[in-house]
Amino acid sequence: MRDLTGPEGDGLMKDTINAAAPVIEARNLNLTFDTADGAVHALKDVNLTIGKGEFVSFIGPSGCGKTTFLRCIAALETPTAGTLTVNGMTPDEARKSRAYGYVFQAAGLYPWRTIAGNIKLPLEIMGFDRAEQESRVERVLELVELKGFGKKFPWQLSGGMQQRASIARALAFDADLLLMDEPFGALDEIVRDRLNEELLKLWARTEKTIGFVTHSIPEAVYLSTKIVVMSPRPGRITDVIDSPLPKERPLDIRDSREFIEIAHRVREGLRAGHGDDM
Amino acid sequence: MRNILPILTVVATIVVLWYLAAVKLNSAWVYDQATRAGADMPAFSQVVSETMNQDRPVLPTPHQVGAELWKSTVGMAVTSKRSLVYHGWVTISATLLGFAIGTGLGVLLAVGIIHNRAMDMSVMPWAIASQTIPILAIAPMIIVVLNSLGLQGLVPKAIISAYLSFFPVVVGMVKGLRSPDQMQLDLLKTYNASAAGAFWKLRVPSSMPYLFASLKVGIAASLVGAIVGELPTGAVAGLGARLLSGSYYGQTVQIWAALFAAAIVAAGMVIVIGLIEKGTLRRMGMVR
């Protein structure tokens, strides 16, 4: 596995030993889509281990398979070869045992439900009783700093607040794994910075494992304990970087030397992966 | 309030054009009468005044139609066979029953179409084909067949009415129930929601705006169906019967009054559905 993850194999070695049972483990994962233009190799020989409590960012240009990989973990896509386990189960078993919360790029709140009603949606489907629903809604609203907004309808909230509500919805049923597919991609940079800061706090408080897809190098470096650099045609992992940054990260850490060095390495990885078409 | 002025302008324009057309179309009869009586050609002002209140005008004037409407609704006991309230109610009751049947059938078909592949492939072509058959051709046969089964009066008319109104509901509801995008469906999949859960929590609420748009078309189609269903039964009762008997006896004023009564009923029913729509969507939080 390590030889496929690039020059950072040794750092990963230590990491794998430290984490007890991995939350996500991919071995020689392949996924090919049959399209009208022929087969598209969306994922090629992906090997990756994610330990408990890690914050893992997937970064790469469009078509590198980062979203596809996240969707495989969520059992929304089915790999065509290789093995993938989530909490030691198959992704589909993990989905059925409600192992993860998924946050999409669009908030996707139901316009006919209030914010509290939207957060209750998964709870209703999973059969929590009414009192439990109420207390959970209160708790996650506080967690994403939307206390007091439960009775508002989505259109009464800004885009950033809507996305926070959708994160609250994914947190409501206490899955240990949070999968986020470019959750802040549609927001402006100022809102994005704030939400990144809040997400780190939330991660520190809840100790969840987070898989985070992004286009943004600063976002990936700022948030992650592990950065997975991917490249397209075929979609594959070109580099895995274990971040030396401390867990406590004020926004101005982005001006530090370490931060800039990691960002540089990510950029190099992206450029190398692109080869001739850039 | 700012909507009133344009509406009044349009109405006034129509009334003016209507009077002009009435003068033009009805004047032939005035000249004809003068010729037969051997009199001189009447002056234009006299022609105009004589086109205003003819017994059997080619085109009745607005005030004649208004007077006839007033006389046959307010000025008459509702039990009278000449009361438009009585005939209107006969038609409305058939329309509402037909609308209820048509809407129910439409929704059921739509639910079947989105959940069953065989129905998805097969129902829509038949539904479309059903609407290409002229209703005037099929209505008498429905009346005859149901009559031989012992069904008369309200039900056959309601079935013809349902025949016209289920179609917009099927089309609208299939579109509405399929309106949630893939991301929304994926989200429910991550919760491991059942098909029933997805149906009630996502598809049904998403389809509401589509449903109401269809219902507005459907209720108007229902009314047309009920009126058409009244024609082959031999002018017994209903707005359709008034239209038919008016045309038997050349009572153009009566025909126009019945036509306007039908238009007013249709507008009223569409407005009622609009109000229900507004109330429902507001309660769902979908109106800002």
- Chain segment A46-86, per-residue pLDDT in tens: 899 999 899 999 998 888 889 999 999 999 999 998 899 99
**A94 and A195, same domain (yes or no):** yes
Same domain? For A47 and A134 the reply is no
Chain B residue nearest residue A152, CA to CA: B285
Q: How far apart are CA B271 and CA B288, in angstroms?
A: 20
Any domain includes A82: yes
Decide if A104 is inside a domain.
no
Alpha-carbon span A96 to B189, nearest angstrom: 9
pLDDT of residue B1: 63
Residues of B in Cβ contact (< 8 Å) with A76: 186, 189-190
Last residue of a domain, one of A174, A197, A219: A174
For residue B202, give the chain A residue with the closest CA: A110
What is the pLDDT at residue A17? 44
pLDDT for the residue A13 = 45
Say yes or no: A121 and A59 in one domain.
no
Q: Which residue has the higher pLDDT, A278 or B172?
A: B172
> Are A183 and A85 contained in the same domain?
yes
The residue count for chain A: 278
Q: Identify residue B229 by its one-letter amino acid code.
A: G
- Determine how many CB atoms are found less than 10 A away from the CB of residue A147: 11
Interface test with B, best of A93, A102, A115, A167 (most B CBs within 10 A): A102
Q: Nearest CB to B190: which of A95, A110, A113?
A: A95
Q: Which domain holds residue A115?
A: 109-174
Above pLDDT 70, what percent of chain A?
Answer: 91
d(CA B127, CA B129): 5
Maximum CA extent, chain A: 59
Q: Are residues A184 and A170 located together in one domain of the fold?
A: no
Confidence of residue A2 (pLDDT cuts 50, 70, 90): very low
Any domain includes A76:
yes
Q: Is the pLDDT of residue A1 over 80?
A: no
The per-residue pLDDT for A274 is 65
Domain end, chosen from A118, A142, A174, is at A174
Q: By three-state DSSP, how is residue A173 classified?
A: coil
The verdict on A82 and A72 lying in the same domain is: yes
Cα separation, B51 vs B48, in Å, equals 5
The partner residue sitting opposite A102, judged by closest CB among B190, B201, B288, is B190
Chain A residues close to B188, C-beta within 8 Å: 125
Q: What does the pLDDT profile of chain B (288 residues) look like in tens digits?
A: 678 899 999 999 999 999 999 999 998 888 888 888 887 778 888 888 888 888 889 999 999 999 999 988 888 877 888 888 999 999 999 999 999 999 999 999 999 999 999 999 999 899 999 889 888 888 888 888 988 998 888 888 999 999 999 999 999 999 999 999 999 999 999 999 998 989 999 999 999 999 999 999 999 999 999 999 888 776 578 899 888 888 888 889 999 999 999 999 999 999 999 999 999 988 888 776
Same domain, A16 and A141: no
Residues of B with a Cβ under 8 Å from any A Cβ are 183-184, 186-193, 197, 201-202, 205, 208, 284-286, 288
- On chain A, the residues whose CB falls within 8 A of the CB of B190 are 74, 76, 95, 100-102
Check if the beta carbon of residue A217 is closer than 8 Å to that of residue A269: no
For the question of an ipTM over 0.85, the answer is no
Evaluate whether A6 touches A238 at the Cβ level (below 8 Å).
yes
- Pick the last residue of a domain from A157, A174, A191: A174
Model pLDDT for residues A154-182, shown as the tens digit of each residue:
999 998 899 999 999 998 988 889 999 99
From A91, which residue of chain B is nearest by alpha-carbon distance?
B190
Name the helix (H) or strand (E) containing A209. Answer: strand A209-214
Q: Residue B281 corresponds to which tokens in the numbers above?
A: 């969507």
What pLDDT, on a 0 to 100 scale, did the predictor assign at position A16? 44
- Residues A256-267: tens digit of each pLDDT: 888 898 999 999
pLDDT digits (tens, 9 = 90+) for A98-151: 889 999 989 999 999 999 999 999 999 999 999 999 999 999 998 888 889 999
* Rounded Cα gap, residues B60 and B66, in angstroms: 10
Q: Which chain A residues have a beta carbon less than 8 Å from that of B186?
A: 76, 102, 104
- Count residue pairs from A and B with Cβ separation < 8 A: 49
Number of structural domains found in chain A:
2
Tell me: do A22 and A124 sit in the same domain.
no
Residue A200 DSSP code: H
Q: In the structure, what pLDDT confidence band is assigned to residue A226 with cuts at 50, 70 and 90?
A: very high
**Contact yes or no for A102 and B188 at CB 8 A:** no
Binding-face residues of A in 243-272 toward B, CB within 8 A: none
Alpha carbons B203 and B199: distance in angstroms, whole number: 5
Domain co-membership, A197 together with A128? no
Query: Does one domain contain both A188 and A254?
Result: yes
Give which of A112, A155, A162 to mutate to test B binding, by max B Cβ within 10 Å: A112
A126 and A88: one domain?
Answer: no
Please, how many CA atoms are within 13 Å of residue B24, restricted to the half-sphere of its CB?
A: 6
B17 burial via Cβ count (<10 Å: 0-12, 13-18, 19+): exposed
Of A98, A112, A153, the CB nearest to B192: A98
Q: Per the CB < 8 Å rule, is B192 touching A110?
A: no
Per-residue pLDDT at A271? 84
Given an 8 Å threshold on Cβ–Cβ distance, is A153 in contact with B187?
no
CATH number, position A47: 3.40.50.300
- Tokens describing residue A104: 């999409």
Residues A161 and A268 in one domain: no
- Amino acid B78 reads V
